Amino acid sequence: MRIEGAVGLVTGGASGLGAGTARMLVERGGRVGILDLPSSAGAALADELGDAAVFCPVDVALADQVERSVVSVAEHFGRIDVCVNAAGISPAARVLSRKGELHPLDMFRRTVDINLVGAFDVLRHAVAAMSRNDPGPDGGRGLVVNVSSAAALEGQAGQAAYSASKGALVALTLPLARDLAIWGIRVMTVCPGIMDTGMLAGVDEKRRAALTDLHVFPKRLGRPSDFAALVASFMENELLNGEVVRLDAATRL
Ligand SMILES: NC(=O)c1ccc[n+]([C@@H]2O[C@H](COP(=O)([O-])OP(=O)(O)OC[C@H]3O[C@@H](n4cnc5c(N)ncnc54)[C@H](O)[C@@H]3O)[C@@H](O)[C@H]2O)c1
């Protein structure tokens, strides 16, 4: 898939990994629909990126908003080639705290609703739009990239909800790729390690240094541009399909 001229739909596109992907697409001659919360910086980013970007305010956990926003991106640009599901939340709570408090069930449900059900809902509408694309030389019509986490594989204490939601995205990869093969649509999943994004906002310097030290090499936090470069390679290398890729500098949590 050529990046120049491609249309991306990026959830969580206002910040961090999603914003890095939106910038990459526009810098390389593509266009992008940025889907993010109304309170996000999505409108400002779309303004900055100009006519090649459009912002759709949406909560990915709300099905009516998801359908409306994916359809509006497809209508605005006439197609969708790549869908990147980067919207996510990572609340922390132990199943039973030291004080004996139960993990709030609402927190578990909300995490799964946004990270898992929201991603699935967005991609099912996005692949419907991709299915209308003319096939490329090898029959390709599109690509879905879901953002999981190293916590899908090595969740920490307090990450039950987050790891459950992200682990399900890993498990979804192969059946989605098999389902969508008849349409020439590929599916890839990324498990980032520790990335320097909005998710690390509020983490103090000492903790940042400890997190950085978990990266074996290179000894730095991941950047949105590292993630965007991986998405670009997924787009360009059409043999990549049905696979989960760690982007984590050899970190094992
Ligand atoms: N930062 C890390 O270290 C790290 C590591 C592994 C995985 N991830 C995953 O990467 C993805 C991107 O996160 P990030 O690190 O760029 O963080 P971020 O906080 O910078 O970006 C997340 C974006 O998702 C949006 N969002 C949250 N809830 C939403 C909802 N209901 N509807 C629409 N948009 C919503 C936020 O507004 C925000 O713009 C997430 O899925 C996260 O779980 C991040």
243-247/185-192 β-pairing: parallel
Q: How much is the pLDDT for 197?
A: 95
CB 232 within 8 A of CB 1: no
Across residues 233-237, what is the average pLDDT? Answer: 98
Q: How much is the pLDDT for 253?
A: 85
Q: How many angstroms does the Cα of residue 112 sit away from the middle of ligand 1? A: 13
Three-class SS state of 84 = strand
Tokens 């139960």 -> residue: 102
pLDDT over 90 percentage in the chain: 98
Determine if ligand 1 sits within 6 Å of the CB of residue 10: no
Q: How much is the pLDDT for 202?
A: 86
pLDDT (tens digit per residue) in 85-115: 999 999 999 999 999 999 999 999 999 999 9
Which residue in the list 162, 183, 227, 234 is annotated as catalytic? 162
CATH class of 7-245: alpha beta
Determine if ligand 1 sits within 6 Å of the CB of residue 89: yes
What is the position in ligand 1's atom list of the atom closest to the CA of 200?
1
Q: How much is the pLDDT for 126?
A: 99
Residue nearest to atom 34 of ligand 1 (CA): 36
Give every CB contact of residue 73 below 8 A, 6+ residues apart in sequence.
7, 9, 33, 35, 54, 56, 80
Ligand 1 pocket test: pick from 10, 11, 17 the residue with the most ligand atoms within 8 Å of its Cβ.
17
pLDDT at 6 over 90: yes
Range in 13-17, 31-35, 199-203, 230-234 with the lowest mean pLDDT: 199-203
Across residues 66-94, what is the average pLDDT? Answer: 98
Across residues 135-153, what is the average pLDDT? Answer: 97
Q: How many angstroms does the Cα of residue 244 sit away from the middle of ligand 1? A: 18
How many of the other CB atoms lie within 10 Å of CB of 5? 12
Across residues 122-146, what is the average pLDDT? Answer: 98
Ligand 1 pocket test: pick from 65, 147, 159 the residue with the most ligand atoms within 8 Å of its Cβ.
147
Q: How much is the pLDDT for 201?
A: 86
